[in-house]
Structure 1
Amino acid sequence: MPGPKVVVQCLDGTEVTVNARNVRVADRSYFCPGMVVASASDRGGQLGVVTGAAVELDLVRLDGEDAAAALVARSVSPAELRRVSEFCLGDYVVLGPWLGRVFEVSLDVDVLLDDGTVCRVTTADAKLCPVGEGSSKRYTNVFYPGQRVGGRSSVFKAARWLKGYWKPSDGEGTVSKVETASVLVYWVASSQLGAERSVVQASSTPAHQQSPRDLTFFRAGDDVLARFWGVGDRCFFRAPCRRRVLPAGDVGANRNRLRRLGAKRTPRRESWSHAGFERPLSVASTRTTLDVLWQDGTRQCQAPSVSLVPTMPQNTHHLFPGQRVVSRTSSDDGDVARSGVVRSLNFTDQTVRVSWQKAAAEHADDETLSSTYDLGRDFDSNVFYGDVVVRRRPTDSSIGVAGDICGSTEEPVLTRCRKKEPTRAHDLSWVGHIVDFCDAHHVQVKWGDGNMSKVSFHEITVVKEQSFGEFLQEIGEWVSEDGGMSNDAIDHEAQVTAAAVVSIPPHTNFNSPRDRVNGWTVPGASTSELTARGNNNVSAPVSGGDGDAKETSTAVAGINGGGGGEGKQAEADATGDDKSFSFPQFDIVQSPSDHHYLDNMEQGTGGGKKWMKRVQKEWNILENNLPDTIFMRAYEDRMDLLRAVMVGASGTPYHDGLFFFDLQLPPSYPAAPPLVCYRSFGLRVNPNLYPSGTVCLSLLNTFGGHGAELWSPEASTVLQVVVSIQGLVLNAQPYYNEAGYADLVGTPQGRRNELPYSENTYLLTLQTMLHLLRRPPAGFEEFVRDHFHRRGQHVLRACEAYLDGCLVGTLDGEGSGARRPCSAGFRLALANVVPRLVEAFTAIDADGCKEFDRIRVPTVCT
């Protein structure tokens, strides 16, 4: 709710809006293995990962004559209970040798009307709504026996009448029975085939639609959190004899406390006494404890859930003990890749203790201190706590791969294996989840049958988690048109109605534990890349409040001057150099052979005289209005192409760097915005600039926006595009360019991540310099050489200042900055880059670089 208000679901299912200051957190029951957490008392400190979770429930009855909450049992394990609906969205289920994910649940509901008649409503999730409860009722408990529901008269008319017959006045009744009619399952792995998606989908998988009686529940889906227990959830005991009824004295002592939880009186309906159906119990409270492994290697057992808060590490350098990493170190033979295992991470210093595998680095110590910025995840063994895995079958000459031909029968091996080795319906010994890392080669797995074992990476295959949007894209139109998930539900922010049991809950985080650790969702297609990040342009207000606006103005300060016609010395003036630099800011030349859109001839044919007139107008605007630190080339033989280079502004992690962009004006221009590709060299220097070259910007219609944020054929220009990129993308605090992160400005989570992101950005900017010196874009060879010939000494002075204690992104044009130290890990990584910079700048005889041939590198305590 806007402001200091929260919506609270009460014990009886009703909802109330209260002031946030009047409530306190009693429990967080949604944690599961693999979730990343922070300490509630130090939200800006180190992170931890949940390795185990335990929940205890207190249960009450609400169906007495005065609806008073009677405490039935407490400290009940969820394993003793069953929900009204056995399956939820995202659940992992097993059918023989197959593992699948539930992506739709269809419910049949028997409704007892007030006159004693009974009807059965099929696919009730789209036809009935709870009566007298909050409109945003949690979708995991939409229907339960004893609940009042209503619907249109036509719904009851079309229902199957079990007792009596339909009357036009029928429109409301009481649920007497809820039954899961069918479940749609997307099959993701097999005990014979493993979890390779292409192999599984190419095989003869079972039908998507399954009877719930044929499925065995394995575990809840972590990305949907559909199965966590909360106050007001309805359930039944699996074995009635296990009910632990409290003594009479305890019931009275707890009644007032239960009423404070929100249990209210419900009018008694006489028809209920004749229903004869079993009413479920209601969860009155939960108590959750967690086992947590912290980044520094310490373990915390049975921590109260309220002492932890869920979080998402917003950069790729948040590593955890047990993870496999790779590092590249320079040698006489070139870069050598090393593989190792994280032992611990010092969050403050951004340093990691790594045990390296001797086979990959024979002369390395068993354990060394490394910078987080010099490490990357080893995706050949990309497993994490909580990951679902399947056991690989031992290699056997009698067992081939799906689709192999056996003998003269030409029968697929999968079919033959089924005949020779039938799998029991409830056998869960081949599917499990990771609970711990043992060493560089082994993990601890808890299997579905309850057993635990130590296995090597080669014995298991990780099941890749996917969002429901990805499920639907692969499956196609398998959902029902009368109330199942529509394509609109692909958006993980989709809203749900009270009866939408198969809809995706609002504000769902679809990232798997692995994605949460990496800090960003890997785009699966170009469409995802275009819509997953940043929302900035020069016309839009700067997000993040006054602080962010101030920092952005610093980045824009150096690009306010015009002067294309007088710009032959523009860059030299802007950077304070006296030496003349004759490179026109804007010029028209022949097209280069390395332009990204050169082969896009379908777009390059132009759009007629009107189009050519508009392009010439754009050229004129650029020639006379380009800021001092942006240089562009147009091409007379390909009027649709442009190339731009921007100089990183001082006071940002991009200072003195060069950033190249290729542009193309489509035939529909200006009705459609330009196409823009960033020359990335495979590096991610900004949330809005992808390694693939995609530039994510509202002005380019590659990210959602509205009004002035979007491209306007009448008002928008190429000049506006390039100024937006330099001023609002290449800014002082790029961390907050990530979509949704602007709200973190000034928060502990924001402060924890903004500096590491800027430090890594500066290191990537230096790597971009080295790439440009080796492979300058065609037509800008002399520009690149002359820029670093003059600015090379300033780059090295900045490095020296950072090694000496300046904060990244605070240096002005004179090399002065905030004297707050960078992290030790940043200085370690920077010390590895500086010698390469000195060598590269010396090779082009850069001014003043000889004095840096032995730059002082501070010693970092190990």
Structure 2
Amino acid sequence: MEKASGRSICPFDLVAFKSTGGGAHGDRGRVLNARPGKGNTRAVLCVDGAVVRVKPSEITVVDRSYLYPGIVVASASDPGGQLGVVTGVDRALDLVRLDGENAAAPVAGSVPPGELRRVRVLNLGDYVVSGPWLGRVVEVSLDVDVAFDDGAVCRVADACRKLSSLRGGDGLSRLTNSSFYPGQLVVGHRSVFRASPWLKGYWKPSRERGTVAKVEMAGVLVYWVASSPSTSDIKASSAPPAYQENPQNLTFFCSPPSCYWSIGDRCFFRNPGGHRAPPPAAAKEQPAKSSRNRPGRRMAMRRRVDHRSDAELERPMSVANTRTTADVLWQDGTRQRGVASASLLLFVPRNEHDFLPGQQVVRVRGGDGSAAAGVVRGLSCRDRTVSVSWLKQEAAMPNGGDEILSAYDLGIDGNSRVFYGNVVVRLRNSMHEAVVQAQSNDRKTMGDDLSWVGHVSDLCEDGHVLVKWGNDKTTKVLPHEIAVVKLQMVSEMLREMGDWVYDDGDIGDDAVDNNAQEQTAVQEPAGIADNGANGEGGDDDSDTEDGLVPSTRLNWGGDGSDRQGADDSFRFQQFDVMQSPPDHHYLDDTEQGTGGGRRWIKRVHKEWNILENSLPDTVYVRAYEDRMDLLRVAMVGASGTPYHDGLFFFDLQLPPSYPAAPPSVNYRSFGLRVNPNLYPSGTVCLSLLNTFGGQGAELWSPEVSSVLQVVVSIQGLVLNAQPYYNEAGYEAQVGTPEGRRNELPYSENTYLLNLQTMIHLLRRPPAGFEDFVRNHFLHRARHVLLACKAYLEGRLVGTLGGEARAADQGRSCSVGFRLALANVVPRLVEAFAAIGAQGCEEFDRPPLCTSSASG
């Protein structure tokens, strides 16, 4: 994301630049690529379809028309500050008409999109209604009338697969709302025109290129996603046919976020007389003045128009400029209306604790264990604290009222994932049932009424949801009275419909158009369905960040001289061979356990020798003589990381094809996600294991890779100092405001999960490592608690030495982290005391955070 005139450049931005091409290109266009290309320039699509390359220093961002209700944004002037959610959008369009090589002629300015229709009435992803069924358009079949210079006209069915643009620039119309538009020059193989019906004239071998005169929808393919309450007991098989031969019988409901208006989009007025264009200077009859001196040319022009009068329609207008403003609800609860879109940055939250006002949350740590839900009133981005108004339903919270809590102790309520902009359908309820039942008798009435499908327009502080229904009425409902329609990619819906879609010759649309339309969706669909803030509450999805917390390295494979008070009689070998444990993740995989023959056995013994002689000091491995395919690995969290003093266990299995294939690895997670590469399910995502993409030395190599390499990679690349950047694609955020914004909360939450993992391990240590776990925490308990004490006093996670002595620092940890830590420490003290750890008494009553927790 580069800077342009003080602002960041994002894909699909409308930008202004100094025009050098002349003609109809204009001085503005849409940014096409995410990163600079050759010569450090950006590709920009202009209104006439041409692509120019412009240096970032010559670009000024003027509009972001892709904003929509529900998208999460940050201020362009403070991208590292608080986030906001767009609750409403207002757009105005300037229109021009392109005429060959001449400059664009202005038609109208400040036109609301509601006054316009696109060339193709229905677009990919559009929501449509047929009777009591709601669906989404996944393919559109177009019939195109092509006119030739001599007046002949033919109709090409399923044109998206048979015709292509003659001009290279026009090919970028695939990024706009239709692949074809009246006036476009197209070319097709002679066999296409020969097999097509001729409306005027007849086929000739020389006719391979012509001009689009008319574009019509011949049919659409619809993926049915929901139905009205009256059809709740009807099977999906009763839904309308997927292929709709008469698209005009469908009722349009709304377009998805991917169908926004942008420069280059071609359109018509819905009511041609409803918007009068100013009389532009370009409308002077210059050709007529010239023709008086050339009567022969005048006659020729008349004949040409006469020949094509039946086929030629009004040429569409093109969007030359957009002006977009947005209403934004910020995390601290303040609202701004009419914010210029260029002053906002699209920001997909990478922090699951970035709650937004109106979201319903539950406690995931601390508290009395009740499942009471509350509504977020505001969040302090700096303090990581949340003001929550508890709902008094079910009397789960006897005190009710508002409460200031740590963001780390909260998660999104799984029973209420409604968010701004969601498409929702009404569920059956007694108040509405009679009306719905009457409407269900008449599919046409139901399709026209649309009282059962709507958009979420606001989230109320009392837990209600404000919904604007398809009949333009707005009502308050409770979350359990509506269902959110999952937002899916068109390609995903096509896959679910099956391969028959692609084999039906009567259905068609341009595959590239399909992908382009969906790729313009700048939202993260899953983020929308999950309340737009990655708010997957609970420990199972906890992500964490960076951290720099030193601790002394342990070398328990040595003489034990560094163990500082631990039982000196205890020695735990770094590598040993024993009988397989009953709790190994791969124990029941007996087919793999048979091994791979003598060569395989020889290779396994070689791996054992390498591990026995080359393990890092803080890694411990057990092999099993009765199951040579299994291994168990324990790692001690390294100093300088948020994993310091923690223990992390991995079960491995060597397949019969080893080393041709890498080992399988499972992390003992206890349902916690302590790293982007370590899933709650136990999956370890690593290129070396072929569970993540990579290239070259990153991938498993039978010739050079080994179990030791896997172990060292997990310790060094996964359990590292800045795990936030382990997430795919996040490395680009290093040093950016977005990255810096998320580093601290990611690090703080990682440490909290590290402490929770300690408690789980003390209660359920892996078989064969019971004594190891106990003695590790006997040795390190006091250091862990001293570190917690320093953090409760405000020290920054990652600034403590091995003996929990604080280093100088300029920043402090967040108030929310201290609140959450104060809830964990008593349970940690209890777990340490249960194994007989010394010196825990002074931590029985940990100091509570005394800093202001105001939001």
Question: What interval of TM-score do these two structures reach, taking the shorter chain for normalisation?
Answer: 0.7 to 0.9
Residue 35 (structure 1) aligned to one of 71, 75, 78: 71
Per the alignment, in what secondary structure is the counterpart of residue 738 of structure 2? helix
| 1:179-328 aligned within 5 A | 179-192=216-229, 202-210=236-244, 211-222=246-257, 225=258, 227-248=259-280, 275=308, 276-328=312-364
| CA apart distance, 1:192 | 2.8
**Structure 1 counterpart of 2:179:** 142
**Structure 1 counterpart of 2:838:** 847
**Structure 1 counterpart of 2:9:** none
| CA apart distance, 1:118 | 2.0
What letter is aligned with 2:222?
A: V
**Structure 1 counterpart of 2:528:** 514
**Structure 1 counterpart of 2:17:** none
Summarize the Cα distance change of 1:458–1:555 in structure 2 as closer, same or farther, 3 Å threshold.
closer
Contact 1:445 1:454 (C-alpha < 8 Å) held by counterparts: yes
Higher mean displacement: 201-210 or 768-777: 201-210
Per the alignment, in what secondary structure is the counterpart of residue 336 of structure 2? strand
Contact 1:55 1:77 (C-alpha < 8 Å) held by counterparts: yes
| CA apart distance, 1:842 | 1.4
Distance (whole Å) between structure 2 residues aligned to residue 60 and residue 575 of structure 1:
80
Distance (whole Å) between structure 1 residues aligned to residue 704 and residue 521 of structure 2:
35
Distance (whole Å) between structure 2 residues aligned to residue 660 and residue 595 of structure 1:
11
The question of 1:176 aligning with 2:230 is answered no
| CA apart distance, 1:328 | 4.6
Contact 1:574 1:628 (C-alpha < 8 Å) held by counterparts: no
Q: Deviations over 1:801-839 (max 9, x none)?
A: 222232223433233445220111001101111111111
Summarize the Cα distance change of 1:351–1:696 in structure 2 as closer, same or farther, 3 Å threshold.
same
Distance (whole Å) between structure 2 residues aligned to residue 80 and residue 651 of structure 1:
60
**Structure 1 counterpart of 2:827:** 836
**Structure 2 counterpart of 1:375:** 410
**Structure 2 counterpart of 1:410:** none
Contact 2:549 2:797 (C-alpha < 8 Å) held by counterparts: no
Per the alignment, in what secondary structure is the counterpart of residue 353 of structure 1? strand
**Structure 1 counterpart of 2:10:** none
Distance (whole Å) between structure 2 residues aligned to residue 119 and residue 387 of structure 1:
43
| CA apart distance, 1:200 | 7.6
What letter is aligned with 1:14?
A: A
| CA apart distance, 1:584 | 0.8
| CA apart distance, 1:151 | 3.0
Contact 2:94 2:319 (C-alpha < 8 Å) held by counterparts: yes
Higher mean displacement: 827-836 or 148-157: 148-157
Summarize the Cα distance change of 1:421–1:641 in structure 2 as closer, same or farther, 3 Å threshold.
same
Per the alignment, in what secondary structure is the counterpart of residue 568 of structure 1? coil
Distance (whole Å) between structure 1 residues aligned to residue 677 and residue 82 of structure 2:
27
Residue 494 (structure 2) aligned to one of 472, 482, 496: 472
Q: Deviations over 1:534-562 (max 9, x none)?
A: 9xxxxxxxxxxxxx9xx99x999999x9x
Summarize the Cα distance change of 1:441–1:781 in structure 2 as closer, same or farther, 3 Å threshold.
same
What letter is aligned with 2:819?
A: L
Summarize the Cα distance change of 1:714–1:200 in structure 2 as closer, same or farther, 3 Å threshold.
farther
Residue 587 (structure 1) aligned to one of 576, 581, 598: 576
Q: Deviations over 1:367-386 (max 9, x none)?
A: 11000000010011111111
What letter is aligned with 1:283?
A: V
Distance (whole Å) between structure 2 residues aligned to residue 671 and residue 86 of structure 1:
54
Contact 1:606 1:640 (C-alpha < 8 Å) held by counterparts: yes
Summarize the Cα distance change of 1:286–1:274 in structure 2 as closer, same or farther, 3 Å threshold.
farther
Q: Deviations over 1:101-147 (max 9, x none)?
A: 12222222121123332222222223322222435441423210001
**Structure 1 counterpart of 2:699:** 710
Unaligned runs of 5+ in 2: 1-35, 285-300
Higher mean displacement: 342-351 or 816-825: 816-825
What letter is aligned with 1:467?
A: M
**Structure 2 counterpart of 1:263:** none
| 1:65-464 aligned within 5 A | 67-134=102-169, 135-137=171-173, 138-192=175-229, 202-210=236-244, 211-222=246-257, 225=258, 227-248=259-280, 275=308, 276-328=312-364, 335-358=369-392, 359-395=394-430, 419=441, 423-464=445-486
Contact 1:688 1:729 (C-alpha < 8 Å) held by counterparts: yes
Distance (whole Å) between structure 2 residues aligned to residue 462 and residue 516 of structure 1:
10
Distance (whole Å) between structure 1 residues aligned to residue 302 and residue 535 of structure 2:
51
What letter is aligned with 1:16?
A: V
| 1:591-602 aligned within 5 A | 591-602=580-591
| 1:716-727 aligned within 5 A | 716-727=705-716
Distance (whole Å) between structure 2 residues aligned to residue 762 and residue 119 of structure 1:
69
Residue 648 (structure 1) aligned to one of 637, 640, 659: 637
Unaligned runs of 5+ in 1: 253-267, 400-412, 490-494, 524-528, 535-547
Contact 1:391 1:461 (C-alpha < 8 Å) held by counterparts: yes
Identity of aligned residues (%): 59
Distance (whole Å) between structure 2 residues aligned to residue 437 and residue 304 of structure 1:
23
**Structure 1 counterpart of 2:662:** 673
**Structure 1 counterpart of 2:728:** 739
Q: Deviations over 1:359-411 (max 9, x none)?
A: 44444350110000000100111111111111123349999xxxxxxxxxxxx
Summarize the Cα distance change of 1:53–1:698 in structure 2 as closer, same or farther, 3 Å threshold.
same
TM score, norm. by length of structure 1: 0.85
Summarize the Cα distance change of 1:193–1:623 in structure 2 as closer, same or farther, 3 Å threshold.
farther
Summarize the Cα distance change of 1:484–1:346 in structure 2 as closer, same or farther, 3 Å threshold.
farther
Number of equivalences:
787
Per the alignment, in what secondary structure is the counterpart of residue 676 of structure 1? strand
Distance (whole Å) between structure 2 residues aligned to residue 477 and residue 766 of structure 1:
49
Summarize the Cα distance change of 1:329–1:706 in structure 2 as closer, same or farther, 3 Å threshold.
closer
| 1:434-833 aligned within 5 A | 434-480=456-502, 497=512, 504-505=518-519, 509-514=523-528, 517=531, 568-569=557-558, 573=562, 579=568, 581-815=570-804, 816-817=806-807, 819=809, 820-833=811-824
Contact 1:324 1:440 (C-alpha < 8 Å) held by counterparts: no
| CA apart distance, 1:786 | 0.6
| CA apart distance, 1:582 | 0.5
Distance (whole Å) between structure 2 residues aligned to residue 507 and residue 621 of structure 1:
50
Distance (whole Å) between structure 1 residues aligned to residue 713 and residue 234 of structure 2:
46
| CA apart distance, 1:472 | 3.3
Per the alignment, in what secondary structure is the counterpart of residue 95 of structure 2? strand
Contact 2:411 2:536 (C-alpha < 8 Å) held by counterparts: no
Per the alignment, in what secondary structure is the counterpart of residue 338 of structure 1? coil
Q: Deviations over 1:262-299 (max 9, x none)?
A: xxxxxx99967853321111112111111111110001
Per the alignment, in what secondary structure is the counterpart of residue 502 of structure 2? coil
Per the alignment, in what secondary structure is the counterpart of residue 338 of structure 2? strand
Higher mean displacement: 243-252 or 126-135: 243-252
What letter is aligned with 1:472?
A: L
Summarize the Cα distance change of 1:161–1:581 in structure 2 as closer, same or farther, 3 Å threshold.
farther
**Structure 2 counterpart of 1:540:** none
Distance (whole Å) between structure 1 residues aligned to residue 374 and residue 211 of structure 2:
61
TM score, norm. by length of structure 2: 0.85
What is the RMSD of the two structures over their aligned residues, measured on CA atoms?
Answer: 3.4
Distance (whole Å) between structure 1 residues aligned to residue 361 and residue 256 of structure 2:
27
Contact 2:144 2:155 (C-alpha < 8 Å) held by counterparts: yes
Summarize the Cα distance change of 1:5–1:228 in structure 2 as closer, same or farther, 3 Å threshold.
same
| CA apart distance, 1:418 | 5.2
| CA apart distance, 1:739 | 0.6
Q: Deviations over 1:510-554 (max 9, x none)?
A: 52453575655989xxxxx9xxx99xxxxxxxxxxxxx9xx99x9
